[in-house]
Structure 1
């Protein structure tokens, strides 16, 4: 029995020791867990304190950052005394050209290049010229809405005015009220957005830079179609009286009524667009005789997105008795020896293909052509006038490089010819350069 009890005591003693050991181990583990939890709480409190300090620092610096941001914005967009927001914009533009042959002017003047064999032909050969007078600046205005009405305006100026194109002038100055516009801006008949891009600031044959005082109303038919009607002051023209001996006398045209212009624009969803335009102008002069007549013109232009990086632009005009709406045209009209008015009539077309070669490089190949009607009295009367042209044609190819967003650098080769009514010819052959910084 004793031996049996002895054998039983040993396992019991081992079990007791094991229980005591396990109990002590559990107690130590619980203490460690509490200590670890306390350590995590302390770390969390430290992190929260650091975040609070960082937040207080940002709050203290925020007014300074806001002031700096407002200063940067206000340099370009400010508020006038009358409460209108206005935005300053413009560019600094340097132009240059090297003429193998060409006009006496820095910029394009294809209708007056010296004729071959004339005494002036060599005057402008191998000639370099440069200028900055195409530099411009302007302001866009916008008044906070008055009820449901939107009010705004624009004033834009450059140094491209005068006969020498080196004097200060106003390009645009107008106000807008909803769909109404009153002031001076592009003629409603003008379609500069469809003219192929040129380095030459004066554009080329078929181009138009007409800005006139006007009242215009635009009506959006839907998201794709827009109608615009305007009454415009196309300003005075100098016309010519031609006698049987070829003498000329200046006369000043006057408008009996404003020029009426209508335009229909249509935009396609792929970015292409079409525009049809028409103008009618009742004119008279201070010349005695039958000088009351109706001048008119019709045009169709647009752009076609050939591919993602390829754009085609085109424009066609037919005009009778007017010179203001297309550059480089002849007299609007002349008078014969009996005092009867004989209007000029002509067609002009431009075509250009622009290719975006890389995100920073683009190139345009363009062509412009003007042909006067040679089967009318105007052609007969000016046949010996070497300032009048039966035909003008001009082609150009250019490349623009946009190294950074505000800067455009351009180079262009341009070749043109003019032909008088008696088939004498003049040539324009030159290279144009430009550097433009937009701000």
Structure 2
């Protein structure tokens, strides 16, 4: 309805009422009859109807104005959505505003992860694996293979602790600067329930870091580790015996093929004569790393160096000492053809055992005088991957590490070497769904010559999203 037309009904009713009232007023000059009184009552009713219509018209105008105001505000909110958040053709929006209102304009939020079931039948020759969350019953820990015990029957364990989820917020500013925040968690925390009923485990942090162009600050894989060289395994790590494997807080700078980092330090110490591990937090310097990586159609090759301080203080025994640890690691992946590749790693060093195989043994030992003596380490693995087709692949790999202990200081009950063989087959019947079966055999040997072995058949079902 046009604005000049909106008042016509009201004016018509008003004129009508006025005319009737004037006519009746003239008649009243002569005499009041019953009919005239009835007409007056009808005029009053008409006036009431006119007033009601006027009120309704005003209410309609107010509601129309409110709707137009809300439509304008909605359009403004839609205009404020960054172009980077535009939806693909054919999809519908589920909300009108950004998921990250406090973030920089243009920030893209992504989410992903996987759900994973692990089922393991394990047999050990010299004792039973210790139970408990995060232990050798959940994944392969070569340093925990029992030695010197009695033969045990097979144990079956099932869990979903390695299920994982992550969040990422990525922004490219108008200046061209690139910012990223990344958080990743799994369920490999301490048990909050029990296997009798709830099987509840805590959420644990894996990665938490921010990047600004070439800089990284936060917790992620050590720069000394080459994650891309790890084989495709059913076990959580696979070649644990011979690989570097550390996630920790760090400050890293990457330029071209080079990367440099200063990382969180921690010294693992064996008491003189052997005994329980000492985790020293007395370091005053970070662990320093440098890495060079070369990539191509043929695969990739990387070489990394590690330089660190080993330090231990114990005021109760007046022990205070600090020495230097160092190491080098070469690793990579070599493509043999469209269906085959070789993956490998070789690491050697002095005082770097914390970085090998989830700390199979310690970085240093205390001698009779209370001084630190670094332990030499040699570790490595080699793996062959073959894909029969897009849905079925197999992996064979061997891993090993050995430690040069001064038994006069460490005693004979310390790990001398560990090694393992693995063979698996992984089938992907549907996109993002993997069903895997892996057979592994691992051996741990002590300095006194005693050894123990572990045989495990491991199945997993993994759905990534």
The TM-score, its normalising length taken from structure 2, stands at 0.72
Q: Which moved more, 1:103-112 or 1:167-176?
A: 103-112
Contact kept? 1:297, 1:317, Cα under 8 Å: yes
Aligned residues between the structures: 356
Aligned to 1:209: 245
Contact kept? 2:119, 2:156, Cα under 8 Å: yes
Which digits, 9 at most, give the CA deviation of each residue in 1:361-397, with x for residues without a partner?
01000100111125xx3x3322322xx2111110100
Task: Please show how residues 20-169 of structure 1 align to structure 2 within 5 Å.
Answer: 69-71=91-93, 78-82=99-103, 83=105, 84-101=107-124, 103-104=129-130, 105-116=137-148, 118-119=149-150, 121-122=151-152, 125-162=153-190, 166-169=201-204
Pairing partner for 2:290 from 254, 262, 280: 262
Contact kept? 1:253, 1:283, Cα under 8 Å: no
Note the C-alpha offset of 1:162: 4.3
**Is it true that 1:333 corresponds to 2:364 in the alignment?**
yes
Note the C-alpha offset of 1:99: 1.0
Quick one: distance in 1 between partners of 2:340 and 2:223?
27
Query: What are the ranges of 5 or more consecutive residues in structure 1 without an aligned counterpart?
Result: 1-64, 221-225
Contact kept? 1:349, 1:369, Cα under 8 Å: yes
Task: Please show how residues 348-387 of structure 1 align to structure 2 within 5 Å.
Answer: 348-374=379-405, 377=406, 379-385=407-413
Quick one: distance in 1 between partners of 2:333 and 2:287?
27
Note the C-alpha offset of 1:179: 0.8
Question: How has the CA–CA distance of structure 1 residues 405 and 317 changed in structure 2, closer, same or farther, with 3 Å as cutoff?
Answer: same
Contact kept? 1:232, 1:260, Cα under 8 Å: yes
Quick one: distance in 2 between partners of 1:323 and 1:163?
28
Aligned to 1:22: none
Aligned to 2:459: 433
Aligned to 1:274: 301
Quick one: distance in 1 between partners of 2:387 and 2:94?
33
Pairing partner for 1:291 from 287, 312, 321: 321
Note the C-alpha offset of 1:173: 0.6
Contact kept? 2:180, 2:212, Cα under 8 Å: yes
Equivalent position SS for 2:203: strand
Note the C-alpha offset of 1:207: 2.9
Note the C-alpha offset of 1:326: 1.4
Note the C-alpha offset of 1:253: 3.7
Note the C-alpha offset of 1:417: 0.5
TM-align CA RMSD: 2.5
Aligned to 1:405: 431
Note the C-alpha offset of 1:167: 2.8
Note the C-alpha offset of 1:128: 0.5
Quick one: distance in 1 between partners of 2:88 and 2:380?
53
Quick one: distance in 1 between partners of 2:253 and 2:170?
18
Query: What are the ranges of 5 or more consecutive residues in structure 2 without an aligned counterpart?
Result: 1-86, 131-136, 193-199
Aligned to 2:216: 181
Quick one: distance in 2 between partners of 1:90 and 1:78?
19
Which digits, 9 at most, give the CA deviation of each residue in 1:79-129, with x for residues without a partner?
44324221000011111100122733221122121125x14x42xx31100
The TM-score, its normalising length taken from structure 1, stands at 0.76
Quick one: distance in 1 between partners of 2:434 and 2:289?
35
Which digits, 9 at most, give the CA deviation of each residue in 1:321-353, with x for residues without a partner?
133321152111111221011111110010000
Quick one: distance in 2 between partners of 1:207 and 1:163?
27
Note the C-alpha offset of 1:238: 4.2
Contact kept? 1:334, 1:343, Cα under 8 Å: yes
Quick one: distance in 1 between partners of 2:323 and 2:229?
30
Question: How has the CA–CA distance of structure 1 residues 66 and 212 changed in structure 2, closer, same or farther, with 3 Å as cutoff?
Answer: closer
Give the strand-richer structure, 1 or 2. Answer: 1
Aligned to 1:303: 333
Aligned to 1:346: 377
Which digits, 9 at most, give the CA deviation of each residue in 1:48-86, with x for residues without a partner?
xxxxxxxxxxxxxxxxx9797144899xx9544324221
Quick one: distance in 2 between partners of 1:331 and 1:163?
26
Equivalent position SS for 2:109: strand
Note the C-alpha offset of 1:262: 0.1
